[in-house]
Structure formats: C-alpha cells, structure tokens
Structure 1
Amino acid sequence: MISQQTIQQILGRIDILDIVGEFVKLKKRGSNYLGLCPFHNEKTPSFIVSPGKEIYKCFGCGKSGNSISFVMEHEKYSYVDALKWLANRYGVEIEETFVSDQQRQQYQTADSLFIINGFAQQFFADQLFNTEEGQDIGLAYFKERGFREEIIRKFQLGYSPERRDAFTKEALSKQYTAELLVKTGLVANRNDQLMDNYRGRVIFPIHNHSGKVLGFGARILKKNDRAPKYINSPENEIYLKSRILYGSYFARTAIDKADECLLVEGYTDVISLHQAGIENVVASGGTSLTPDQLRLVKKYTNNLTIVYDGDNAGIKAALRGLDLALEEGLNVKLVLIPDGEDPDSYVNKVGASKFTQFVNENKKDFILFQLEVALKDAGGDSIKKADVVNKMAETISKINKAEDFTKQQDYIKQTAEILKIEETGLHSLVNKFIRDRIATQERKMPFEEARAHEENAKQAEATNYDDATFNLLFKDELQEREVARILIEHGVKKWNDKKLIAEYILEEIPDESLIDNAEVILLIAAFKELMQSTPELATKNYFIYHPDTKLSTLAVSLLNFPHDQSDRWKSEFSQNSGFQQSLFQQSYEDFMRAMRKDNEAELNNFLKIDEDRSDVEVDSAIMYLKLRKIKRMLLENQADLEKPHTTEELYMLHQTHEHLKKMEIELTRNMGAVVIK
C-alpha cells in the first residue's frame, strides 16, 4: 500500500486543470473551464472543471469526480495505479507500507521483475535497430511483414541475437540476479549454465494497462521442427496470462471512443490493424477467453466483436469462451476473415477502409452462428440435434442480467424457429438450466447467509411505502446531504469568535440519531475524529481525495455543481417556488449557453461566486434537523397517546404534544416555510 505521507504529497501537488487539460481542451468560462466530455461523444461542450473545488462534472452524461477519479476513469486505472501515475507525473517518490514481510517480498519481487523487463525491452530494441544481425534478420522480418518503423517503435518490438548468452551476460553485468532473470523467462538454467531463452527470435513486449512490460512473446525465425513457433514468458508475480490482452495499453482510448473492442488472435494482427489506423483492437493470444480478460474488455465497452480466421480452427477458437462472454453481459458479434486470410494479411491486402467495411457488413450474431455451426455438424442425426437443442438452451440461459431479459426472449424465439421446435418447450428448457444454476449456487451459499437473504426478501415484500412516505424520505435524504455538504465546504470557517462552523454543527448534532443516511453518518464520524486529532486537515480536499471511496464519492457528489446559487436561480428553481420542469430546462439551456459564450453579464444572472451564505445555510440545515427531531417526537408521543393511560399520564402526554407543536411552529416560522408535513 502507498503510505499516507506519499498520498498527501501527491494531493499537495495535484492541479486538476493540469491533469484534465492533458486529455481535454479546456476554455475558461467565468471562474471555471469548459470542454468536450472525454467520456461520451458530444459536439456541444458540457464538461465543466472547477479548479476552486478541484472537481469536474459533465452535464451531458453525468460523470463527475476529482483528479484521481478522472485518471482512474479515463485511463482505466485502479486507485493505486492512478496514484502511482500522478506520483510519477509530479516527481513524488513513492513510499509504501506493508502489512507483512511476505507481502513486502512480493511487492519487491514484482518491482524487480518490472525493472528487469524494462531493461530487456531496451536491450532487444537496441539489438534490432543498432546491430548488423538485428537489422539483417529481425528488422528485415518485420519490414517483410509490412511494418513501418514508427509502428515497430510504438510497440517496442525487438530482436534477441543468436549468441548463446548475449542478454544473460549483459544483464548479469548490470547486477541483476540470476534467480530473478530465470523467473522472468528471459534466461534459462540448463545444467547449471545460464543462457538466453529467446535467442534468434523477434520479440513482442506485452504491456500492462499503464505501459509497463509484463512479459514477452518471442517468435522463431528459422525453420526448426523441434522448437515452438512462439515462446511466452512463464507465469510469475506480474505475468498472469489469463488476465492479459495483448495491445490493451495501446487500444484502451480507441475502444472507449468507438464503444467497441475488436478481438483477434495474434500479435501481428494487432500491430497491422493499428498501423492501418484501426486501433480499437486487442489479441487473446490464441487461447480460450477467460473471465478476467472479458472483464478487462468490459472496463472499456460492452460491445465485443471477434475477428478470426475463417478456417475450422478459427471458428472453434472463436466459439470458445462464448458462455463466459454472455455471463459478463457483453454483446458479442463474430466476423470470419475469408479466403484463408487472417486479419493481418487481409488488412494489408484490401486496406483499412475496405477492412472496416467488411467487418461492419459481416458481423454475425454469435449465438445464432453457434447454432448454425452446430446444426451443420449434426447433419441429419436426431441424437446430435437433441444435443444441439440442449446446448443452445444452456447458452441462452447464460444471458442472466435483468436488463437483457428482452434479448433472451428474442434468442428463444429465433432459435426455436431455426430448430423448428415449439417455442414454449425451448423456453421451459432455458428456465430449467436457469433453475439448475441457481440451485447449484444456493447449495454453495452458507446456511446463515441463505436465511438472511430469505428474511430480507420477506421484509421487502411486507414493506408498502406510499408516495408521501417516499417523498418525505427523499426530502430527508437531501437535507442530510446538505448538512454533509456544509461540513465539507464551510466546516473550517468561523461561526463566531469562539468556534468553527464544524464545531457548532457537531455540538448541535451530538449523535447520529437524527441522521439516517449511512454515508453521511460515516462522514460526520470522520469529521469528529479529525476535529479531535488534526483539525487543520478538515478541508474539502481531505474528503474529495479520501482513500475511502464512499467518502470521496459522497464529497464529489455534494460539491459537483460548480457554482453557488444566485437569487434568480433560487427564486426560479427552489422547491418552495413551485418548480416547473420546462422552466428549469429553458433556464439550464440559457445557463449553458452563457457558459459557452463566456458572457459575464448573463452568467452573473445565475452565479454569485463570491457570495458567502454559509451562515444562512448552517442555520437552515440545523433548524431542519431540529424540526425533524421534533416531528419524530410528535409521532412517538401520538403513538403513546393511543395506548391506555391514567388521567395524569394522559395530561402529561397532551402537555408534551402542545409544547412540541409550539416548538415546531416557531421553527417553521423562522425558516419561512413549512418543510415537513
């Protein structure tokens, strides 16, 4: 784990304009910046960055966040990887903490393997471009395949010389240990002799999502029946074949923009398509697709198009992993390259434009294609046809996400028509496979967990909220979030000469009994802890960049509208003024138009950036919570009144009711509106 000290150094140097501006062209609009959203296709900019609050918000697709979440979303990094990317950008040395010696050893080994692989990549590239052997053999091979030098350098291709220990000697001279060199697969130990494992081969580095070299694929150039055509790195702390798609580092942005991932088999397929300008492509390496690989695709898109050779081997390879892709909720299409070609040779033969046209015009529905192939294999054999029916029902049953119900029903109908069987019978068979799978899952579920699920289901069925109850809960939700927003945005401001706003609010909310929202309770608890230990950290940035994603997501969502309300905004859109959707839509469009035109006069109708209304906001929030507490006490008192009591007890309950009603009326009058029914 990255130490808190390192995280604080990174946060201290982050500039959201610098980060977002690397990927989005931003123009100043008022005190904020506007650009085209990088997360969805739009022609009119609706993506706003607020440097003052260090957050971004897209009013088109709704995405919002901070600098770290932007890097995570745009580059598809984990939280830790995003921090490392930022640390590297701002020259922060990463200090890591470890929970055990074993974990420390694993991290150190992984770091060492990355360093060795980086050194090896540079060695092989140098051999390719700067040695006579590399140019005559390796570079000549790549150019024969049609690769231009810029694409060779982009994918960091290389060459390992024929000499028995050229790389080994160089690596040992740089003080890399023999044990780790063997672990990478770059060096082999045969009869206590260290030698190069990839000699005489061209080298394809395999990168992770941040561009580091995980391992290598090495292709033999000479004819040798005893040697494998390709050698890949062995599995180790950083190279796990089931979690890797070749070319994903270079394709991730293109996949995101195209909202489609093309999947091919080999390294050269990927490189040739990239060279032709078709960059949303990755390779499976010829193996069956794994759940981890499919989840990697789904990070970028739900649309997967498999582009394989049209021969029998290509068809079988394409069909492997279909059920897994369906379970992941991917929309899968298949394109088979004709005439014994593969994607590499076909794009070189017909060019990028015709290749793209061919793919778009020849996409086959994956499930129906599987049915077509299976029926062809079954021929007139009735037993084999029955197997086909069962197989198709099992496949369709894997489409198990609620949002894909209509898709599942369409497949049942089309499959029944092609197989010439009753649709109801196929439907029943699909449902049987679904029931069997659920039963299997339930058998795996611990008894207590299953009982908890049953109890939750009963409670959900028994619950019957009417619209008024829902509206009240929703209003409470908004008000609780308002308290959290005030703490984050104004907590360290002075309430008076003796205390901060946060101290005042926390005194008025001595416990969490008035709050129902679990995330707000979590934030209040974190704020209390900060005020007791390190109150100087209790700023909005502390929560915007909090390592607990629940807190950081809450903080961003509370602050994600980058402007304070003006009087016009409040009068036109507040709940008390009879908010109308059409009026809101028109004024929102006026607001966005003013933003794009940088019309300060118009903007000032909507915005009062410098107006500090924190005292009003605090009073309003505190009074609301007090009012809600009184309302709850009134309900409890009313429930108590309905029970049998002595005359004296009834008198006390009526007195309590009158006292609470007076308090309610007084608070309501101070707030200027009735906020609770």
Structure 2
Amino acid sequence: MISQNTIQDILSRIDVLDVVGEFVKLKKRGANYLGLCPFHNEKTPSFTVSPSKEIYKCFGCGKSGNTISFIMEHEKYSYVEALKWLANRYGIEVEETFASDEQREQYQTADSLFIINNFAEQFFTKALTESEEGRLIGLSYFKERGFREGIIEKFRLGYAPNDRDAFTREALSKQYNKELLLKSGLVAERNGALADNYRGRVIFPIHNHSGKVLGFGARILKTTDKAPKYINTPENEIYVKSKILYGSYFARTAIEKADECLLVEGYTDVVSLHQAGIENVVASGGTSLTVDQLRLIKKYTNNLTIIYDGDAAGVKAALRGLDLALEESLNVKLVLIPDKEDPDSFVNKIGAGAFTEFIKKNKKDFILFQLESSLASIGDDPVKKSELVNKIAESISRINKAEDFTKQQDYIKESAAILAIDEAGLHALVNKYIRDRVASLERKAQSNTEKEKNSAAAETSGFDDATFDLLFKDQLQEKELARILLEYGNRPWDEQTLVAQHVFDEIDELEIDDTDVNQLITSVKKLLHNNPGLLNDKYFIYNDDKKLSAFAVSLLNHPYEESDRWASDFSDNTGYQRDLFSQSFEAFSKVISKGNENDLNKYKLISEDRTNQKVESAIQYLKLKKIKRMLLQNQEDMASALNDSKFRELHFIHKSLKDMEREITNILGTVIIQ
C-alpha cells in the first residue's frame, strides 16, 4: 500500500486544473473553467472545473469527482495506479507500506520485472531498425505483412538477434539480476549457461492498460516442426495470461468512443486493423476468454463483437468463453471471416471501409449462432437434439443479472422457435439451472420493491401537494446543512467556536433522515474531537471512503453563487424570502428565457463572506422543516384522540410547536402563510 505520508504529499501538490487540462482543453468562465466533456460526445461545452473546490462536474452526462477520480475514470486506473500516476507527474517518490515481508518482496520483484521488460523492449526495437540483421530479417517480415513504419513504431515491434546470447550479455553488463532475467522469460539456462530465449524471432511487446510492458510474444520466422510458432512470457508476478488482452493500451480510448470492443485472436490481426484505422480492437492471444479479460473489456463498453476465422477451428474458438461473457452482462455478437481468411488478411484484401461494413452486416447474436450452427450438424438425432436443448438452456441461464431478465426471456422465446419445442418447457429447463441464483435474487428484489412501494404509499397517502413538499423535501435542507459543514465548518463562528461546532450545538436534538448526511456529520464530529486541523472540504473530497468522497463532491457541485442584488430584486412583496438556492435558480431561468443580456449582466455573481448568515439560515430552515413535520404528525394525533384529556395534551403541544415556529420565522425574517 502507498503510505499515508506519500498520499498527503500527493494531495498537497495536485492541481485539478493542471491534471484535467492535460486531457481537456479548458477556457476560463468566471471563477471556473469550461470544456468539452471527455466522457461523452458533445458539441456544446458542459464540463466544468472548479479550481477553488478542486472538483469537476459535467452537466451533460452527470459525471463528477476530484483529481484522483478523474484519472481513475479517464485512464481506467485503480486508486493506487492513479496515485502513482500523479506521484510520477509531480516528481514525488512513492513510499510503500507492506503487511508482510513476503508482500514487500512480491512488490519489489514486480517493479524489477517492469524495469527489465522496459529495457528489453528498447533493446528489441533498436535491434529491429539499427542492426543489419534486424532490417534484413525482422523489418522485411513486418513489411511483407504490410506493416508501415508508423504502426511498427506505435506498437514498438522489435527483433531478437539470432546470436545465442546477445540480449543476455547486454542485460548482464547493465547489472540486471540473473534470477529476475530468468523469471522474465527473456533468458533461459541451457547446458549450464544463460542464453537468449527469443533469438531469431520478431517481438510483440505486450502492454498493460497504463502502457507498461508486461511481457512479450515472440514469433518464429523459420519453418520448423520442432520449434513453436510463438513463445510467450511465462507467468510471473506481472504477466498473468488470463488477465491480459493484447492491444488494450492502444485501443482503450477508441473502444470507449465506439462503445464496442472488437475481439480477435492474434497479434497481427490487432496491428493490421489499427493500421487500417479500426482501433477499437484487442486480441485474446488465442486462448479461451477468461472472467478477468471480460471485466477488462467491460471497463470500457458492454458491447463485445468477436471476430474469428470462419473455419471449424475458428468457430470452436469463438464459442469458448460464451457463458462467461453472458454472466458478465456483455452484449455479445459474433462475426466469422470467410474461410481461409483471418482479420489481418481480410482487411488488407478488401480495405478498411469494406471491412467495417462487413462487420456491421454480418454480426450474429452469439447464442442464436451457437444454436443454428449446432442444429445444422445434428440432423434428426433426438439424443443430440436433447443435448443441444440442455446446452442452450444452460447458456441462457448464465444471463444471471437481474437487469438482464428481459434479455433472458427473449432468448428463451427465440431459441424455442428455432428448436421447434415448447417455450414453456424451455423456460422450465432454464429455471432448473438458475433456480439457486437468478430466481432467488429476483424474488428478493421483487419483495424489496413491493415493500418500498407499500411503505411509500402509506407515508404519502392523505397529504396534499404543499404538505408533501414540506415533508419529503427535508432531504434538500439536510444536504444544504451538510454543504455548509463542508464549505464553512472550519471557519470561526466566534472567538471560541468553529462553525461546525456551532451547527452541532444547534441541531444536536434534531433527527437527520438522510444516511449520507448522517455519515458526513459523524465524520466531521470525529475530526472536531480528534484532529480539527484536518477539517476542510478537501479532506472529504479526497477521502479514502469513496462513497463519502462522491457525496462531498456532489454537495459542492453548485455552478452559481448568489449576489445581494439578486436576493433583493427577487424577494416576494410580502417579505417572504424563499430558499436562497431555489430563488436564485428561478430568477436566473427568467433572465435566460427572456434573453436580455443587459438584465443578465447586472446580476454579477459575487463571493462575499456572508458565512454566518448562510450558516444561521441553513440551521433555522432545517429546524423549521422539522417543526412543520412535528406539527403535521401532532395534527393527525389530535384528529384521532380518544378522549378530551389526550386532546388537551396534544393541543398544548401544538401551541408550543407554533410558538417555536414563530420564533424561528422571526429570526429568518419570513412570513409563514397559514
């Protein structure tokens, strides 16, 4: 784990404007900056960055967060990876803490393997272009495949000299560790001596999603029955085959933009398609799809199109991993390239435009393709047909996410029609496979949904619109109070008290309904007691608790601040001053709708220090809401009082609550409409 000292050092150095500005072109608009959202396609900028609050918010797609979450979302990094990216950008040395010596050793080994692989990649690319052997053999091979210099450089393709130990000598001269060289798979021990493992082969470096070299695929160029066509890096601390998709580093942005991932088998398929301008493509390396690979794809899209050769082996390979893909809720399509072709040769034969059109026209649903191809091969054999029915039912049962229930039913209907069997019977068979999973989850979800509906109906029945507004908009006032704690909690209320402590003194007996607000209040109280110096909005924006961090960001996502002129011009004639945020928003909408630029210009948004006024207003409005709720409940109790004594007791409570209500309205300077 990254030490807290390093994390605090990173947090003290990062600048949201600097980091986001590396990926988004921003223009200053008032106190904030505006640009086109990197998370969805838009023509009118709606992506806002607030340097003062250190957050971003897109008012188009709704995504928001802090500097770290931006890197996590944009680059698809984990929290730790994002921290390391930021540390590297700001030249901060990362200090790691480990639970055990074994964990420390694993981390150090992984770090060393990344360094060795980076050195090897440079060695192989240099050997390809700067040595006579590399140009005559390796570069000639790539050019015969139609690879241009730009694409060779992009994928950092290389060549391993045919000399027995050319790489080994170079690595040992640079003081790289012998044991780690062996673990990396770059070097092998033969007859008691170290030798290069990939000699005489062209090299395909394999990168992780952040661009680091995990390992290599080395293709033989000479025809031989003994040597394997490809040698891949052996499994080690950083190279885990089941978690790798070749080309993911170069394809990630294109996959997200296209909202589709094309999956092929081989390295050359990926390189050729990228060269043709089809960049949303990765390769499985010829292995069966794994859960980790599918989840890597799902980081970028839910739509997977598998493109494999049209021969029998290609069909068999394509069908591997089907059930896993369905379990991950991926929308899976299959395209088979015409027989004796592969994606590499086919795109070079017909061109990028025709290839893209071919993919669009020939996509087939994965389950239905499996069904139709299998049905054609079994003929009238009832035993084989029964096996196929069971196989299809089992595949459909893998669609086990509650949100995919409709998709599952559609598959049952279509499959029953193709198989010419009773739909109800197939449905029963599917249920047999999913009884312990989807059925139980569905019953639980349905039960919870009904309870929520009944509860909501009981609470809302009998209330008019005004009463409903008062009762169920308490949450807005509670969140406003939470925002006050975030923005002003560490400011002085008076000479002895912070704003946060004053708030708690005032609302201590009030029941807060919103769970997120309660969590924030609990955290602020702990800080006040244990370490008040840490109390500021940044502490919560960058909190380790991701839920708390997201809630803090959402509270601070107010695009406008109110001016005194605004408030005075849009007060009611009666003197009734409404909720400040609602009032400001309505006024701004009126000005915008009229399109009067002069009117708009006179309402310049200002940032004067009216902290105490805002704090007091938030506290009193929340108290007022709570009292109104108590009044409504008391009125219901009075209406159902069983005797005069109980009625008088409740009437006395009613009068006390009304007195409290008047006291608060006097503080606020408002008039309550009876």
The two structures have a TM-score, normalised by structure 1, of 0.88
Q: For 2:433 and 2:396, locate their aligned partners in 1 and report how far apart those are by CA, in whole Å.
A: 9
Counterpart position of 1:237: 237
Q: Encode CA deviations 1:78-106: one digit per residue, 9 max, x unaligned.
A: 11111111111122221222222222222
Choose from 477, 480, 486 the match for 1:479: 477
Range 225-234 or range 404-413, more displaced: 404-413
Counterpart position of 1:490: 488
Alignment map for 1:19-58 (pairs within 5 Å): 19-58=19-58
Counterpart position of 1:446: none
Instruction: Kindly indicate whether the alpha-carbon contact (under 8 Å) linking 2:543 and 2:549 is maintained by their aligned counterparts in 1.
Output: yes
Range 302-311 or range 425-434, more displaced: 425-434
Q: Encode CA deviations 1:570-589: one digit per residue, 9 max, x unaligned.
A: 95999769989x97996597
> Which letter does structure 2 place at the counterpart of 1:564?
E
5+ long unaligned stretches in structure 2: none
> Which letter does structure 2 place at the counterpart of 1:68?
I
1:135/1:393 Cα in 2 relative to 1: closer, same or farther (>3 Å)?
same
Alignment map for 1:5-16 (pairs within 5 Å): 5-16=5-16
Q: Encode CA deviations 1:534-585: one digit per residue, 9 max, x unaligned.
A: 43432222221222212211111001123224575995999769989x9799
**3-state DSSP of counterpart to 1:219:** strand
Counterpart position of 1:139: 139
Counterpart position of 2:172: 172
1:350/1:300 Cα in 2 relative to 1: closer, same or farther (>3 Å)?
same
Q: For 2:558 and 2:592, locate their aligned partners in 1 and report how far apart those are by CA, in whole Å.
A: 15
1:213/1:590 Cα in 2 relative to 1: closer, same or farther (>3 Å)?
farther
Instruction: Kindly indicate whether the alpha-carbon contact (under 8 Å) linking 2:34 and 2:47 is maintained by their aligned counterparts in 1.
Output: yes
Counterpart position of 1:445: none
**3-state DSSP of counterpart to 2:473:** helix
1:676/1:161 Cα in 2 relative to 1: closer, same or farther (>3 Å)?
farther
> Which letter does structure 2 place at the counterpart of 1:30?
G
Q: For 1:575 and 1:423, locate their aligned partners in 2 and report how far apart those are by CA, in whole Å.
A: 60
Q: For 2:353 and 2:239, locate their aligned partners in 1 and report how far apart those are by CA, in whole Å.
A: 35
Instruction: Kindly indicate whether the alpha-carbon contact (under 8 Å) linking 1:252 and 1:280 is maintained by their aligned counterparts in 2.
Output: yes
Instruction: Kindly indicate whether the alpha-carbon contact (under 8 Å) linking 1:57 and 1:561 is maintained by their aligned counterparts in 2.
Output: no
Q: Encode CA deviations 1:596-654: one digit per residue, 9 max, x unaligned.
A: xxx7x56546652324443232112222444466567778989999999998x998776
Instruction: Kindly indicate whether the alpha-carbon contact (under 8 Å) linking 1:563 and 1:609 is maintained by their aligned counterparts in 2.
Output: no
5+ long unaligned stretches in structure 1: 443-449
Report whether the alignment pairs 1:544 with 2:541.
Answer: yes
> Which letter does structure 1 place at the counterpart of 2:265?
E
Q: Percent same amino acid among aligned pairs?
A: 66
1:559/1:315 Cα in 2 relative to 1: closer, same or farther (>3 Å)?
same
Q: CA deviation at 1:292?
A: 1.0
> Which letter does structure 2 place at the counterpart of 1:478?
L
Q: CA deviation at 1:314?
A: 0.9
Report whether the alignment pairs 1:321 with 2:321.
Answer: yes
CA RMSD of aligned residues (A): 3.6
Alignment map for 1:43-122 (pairs within 5 Å): 43-122=43-122
Counterpart position of 1:507: 505
Instruction: Kindly indicate whether the alpha-carbon contact (under 8 Å) linking 1:181 and 1:187 is maintained by their aligned counterparts in 2.
Output: yes
Instruction: Kindly indicate whether the alpha-carbon contact (under 8 Å) linking 1:65 and 1:560 is maintained by their aligned counterparts in 2.
Output: no
Instruction: Kindly indicate whether the alpha-carbon contact (under 8 Å) linking 2:431 and 2:439 is maintained by their aligned counterparts in 1.
Output: no
Q: For 2:589 and 2:60, locate their aligned partners in 1 and report how far apart those are by CA, in whole Å.
A: 15
Q: Encode CA deviations 1:290-328: one digit per residue, 9 max, x unaligned.
A: 111111111101111111111111111111111111111
**3-state DSSP of counterpart to 2:20:** helix
Counterpart position of 1:433: 433
Q: For 1:578 and 1:492, locate their aligned partners in 2 and report how far apart those are by CA, in whole Å.
A: 22
Q: For 2:571 and 2:654, locate their aligned partners in 1 and report how far apart those are by CA, in whole Å.
A: 37
Alignment map for 1:120-159 (pairs within 5 Å): 120-159=120-159
Q: Encode CA deviations 1:203-245: one digit per residue, 9 max, x unaligned.
A: 1111111111111111111122111111111111111111111
Q: CA deviation at 1:152?
A: 1.2
Q: Encode CA deviations 1:239-294: one digit per residue, 9 max, x unaligned.
A: 11111111111110111111111111111111111111111110011111111111
Counterpart position of 2:519: 522
Alignment map for 1:414-493 (pairs within 5 Å): 414-437=414-437, 463-464=455-456, 465-467=458-460, 474-493=472-491
Report whether the alignment pairs 1:4 with 2:4.
Answer: yes
> Which letter does structure 1 place at the counterpart of 2:161?
P
1:434/1:28 Cα in 2 relative to 1: closer, same or farther (>3 Å)?
same
Q: CA deviation at 1:658?
A: 3.8
Alignment map for 1:188-203 (pairs within 5 Å): 188-203=188-203
Instruction: Kindly indicate whether the alpha-carbon contact (under 8 Å) linking 2:266 and 2:284 is maintained by their aligned counterparts in 1.
Output: yes
1:639/1:353 Cα in 2 relative to 1: closer, same or farther (>3 Å)?
closer
Counterpart position of 2:393: 393
Q: For 1:290 and 1:587, locate their aligned partners in 2 and report how far apart those are by CA, in whole Å.
A: 55
> Which letter does structure 2 place at the counterpart of 1:331?
N
1:434/1:535 Cα in 2 relative to 1: closer, same or farther (>3 Å)?
same
Q: CA deviation at 1:118?
A: 1.0
Q: For 1:220 and 1:559, locate their aligned partners in 2 and report how far apart those are by CA, in whole Å.
A: 58
Counterpart position of 1:447: none
> Which letter does structure 1 place at the counterpart of 2:104?
R
Counterpart position of 1:383: 383
Instruction: Kindly indicate whether the alpha-carbon contact (under 8 Å) linking 2:641 and 2:647 is maintained by their aligned counterparts in 1.
Output: no
**3-state DSSP of counterpart to 1:514:** coil
1:589/1:394 Cα in 2 relative to 1: closer, same or farther (>3 Å)?
farther
> Which letter does structure 2 place at the counterpart of 1:488?
L
Alignment map for 1:480-629 (pairs within 5 Å): 480-510=478-508, 514-565=511-562, 604=601, 608-627=605-624
The two structures have a TM-score, normalised by structure 2, of 0.88
Q: For 1:277 and 1:229, locate their aligned partners in 2 and report how far apart those are by CA, in whole Å.
A: 28
Q: CA deviation at 1:178?
A: 1.6
1:473/1:271 Cα in 2 relative to 1: closer, same or farther (>3 Å)?
farther
> Which letter does structure 2 place at the counterpart of 1:77?
Y
> Which letter does structure 2 place at the counterpart of 1:614?
T
